Amino acid sequence: MKFGTKAIHAGVEPDPTTGAIMTPIYQTSTYVQTTPGGHKGYEYSRTHNPTRTALQNNLAALENGKHGLCFSSGLGAIDAIIKLLNPGDEVISTNDLYGGSYRIFTKVFERYGIKFHFVSMDNPENIAAHINANTKLIWAETPTNPMMNIIDIQAVGDLAKKHGILFGVDNTFATPFLQNPLDMGADLVMHSVTKYLGGHSDVVMGAIVVNDDKLAEQLAFIQNACGATPGPQDCFLVLRGIKTLHIRMERHCQNGKTIAAYLKNHPKVEKVYWPGFEDHPNHHIAKKQMRDFGGMISFTLIGNKIEDAITILENLHYFALAESLGGVESLCGHPASMTHASIPKEEREKVGLVDSLIRLSVGIEDVDDLKKDIAAALELI
C-alpha cells in the first residue's frame, strides 16, 4: 500500500460482529474469561484493548515498522524509552529539543544516575566525540523544536550501529508522511500523537514504533507495568484523524512554504527558520530524507525585543496563542516562556532560542487569510 491507502486501511478491519467500517470504541476495563487464563487475547485494558491494538498496528504500518505501542502522552512514550536504561548509562541528546524532553531528562532521570550530554547534531562528528563505554542511547529530533535544525538520520544511524548504541528519533514535526527514520537506521521512532497524527487538538497521546522483537517486548512490559496507556476513546479519535493525515500534511506543507517566504521578505523579521530554504543549514539533508519541509516555522524580529514578540502574539487571530502544534488550525507560541521555559535561558540562547523567537504551527486554513493575519500583527511593532 502507498501512504494514503495505509493511513486509511492499515491495521483496521471492519468489526467482525456487526460489519461496522469504523473500529469500535471498546469502552471496557476488563474481559470475561471462560476459564482462568482462557480469554480471546484481551484480559485487562491497561495491557491490551482492541481499539488501541488497531491504532498501534496502523502507526507501525505508517512508519514501516513491525511493532507500535501507544502511551498516554508523548512524554509517557519518552519515559518508557529512558526506562530501558540503567543507572550509570549515558545518553547523547540533541542540544535543541522540546523543553519537556529536556525537563524529564534533567529533572527526573538524572536523579536516578543516568547522564545526559546535550550536543549539536548538525555534524555527526559532534556525537562521536561524546561516545564512551557507558553510552546506551542517542536521542534526536529532526526537524528540531523550535530551531528547525536538520539531523542526518542515516549518518547518525550508521554511527549508532557501529558502536552498538540504541538510536531514537522524535519524528513529531515531520510525521511518517514526510520521513521514516526506521528506514534510515533508527531503532525507535517516537511521536507526540497529540500533534499532527491526531491533527485536531482534541487528544493527548504518545507512540513508539520499532522493528526489533526484543525491544518491542521490553517496551510492552514497561507500557503495561508502568501503566501510561491511552483510553479507547482517544485511540478512536486518533484513528479517525490519521485517515486524513496525508491530505492535511500536503496542505500544511503548501501553507508553510508560503508563510515562510512571506516572513523571510518582511522588513521587521530578522531570521526565519524553515528547512525548505536553500540557505538553511543542512537543507541538502532535509531534501534527501524528507518528502517535503513541513508546516513548522520559527522566526525572530529585528531588535530582538520580547515586548515586540508579545505584541505580535497577542494580536494574531487565526494563529491562536496556545501550547502544542500540528492541528488543522494555526497556532503560535513563544518558546522562551511557554514550551521551552524549563530550559535555562543561557542554554536556550546557545542554540539561538532568543526572547523574540516566535514559533508558528501553520494550519490548513486559506493561506491568504493567514498572511493578512501576520501582516496586521507585524504592523503593530
DSSP character string of 242-256: HTTHHHHHHHHHHHH
> Coil, strand, or helix at residue 159?
helix
Catalytic site residue from 26, 98, 102, 196: 98
C-alpha cell at 157: 544511524
Closest CA to 239 of 25, 71, 94: 25
Contacts of 28 (CB under 8 A, 6+ apart): 45, 49, 232
CB atoms within 10 A of CB 168: 26
Q: Is 161 part of the annotated catalytic residue set?
A: no
Q: Is 103 part of the annotated catalytic residue set?
A: no
Dist. CA 253–CA 116, nearest whole Å: 33
Dist. CA 207–CA 76, nearest whole Å: 9
Catalytic site residue from 195, 243, 257, 359: 195
Catalytic site residue from 170, 234, 308, 355: 170
Dist. CA 91–CA 102, nearest whole Å: 12
Interstrand relation of 166-170 and 188-192 (parallel, antiparallel or unpaired)? parallel
Cα angle, residue 332 at apex, residues 326 and 334 outer, rounded to 5°? 120
Q: Is 251 part of the annotated catalytic residue set?
A: no
Q: Is 96 part of the annotated catalytic residue set?
A: no
Q: How far is C-alpha 107 from the geometric centre of its chain's CA atoms?
A: 21
Catalytic site residue from 46, 66, 287, 350: 46
8 A C-beta contact, residue 80 and residue 209: no
C-alpha cell at 372: 493578512
C-alpha cell at 311: 505584541
**Which residues are part of the catalytic machinery?**
46, 98, 170, 195
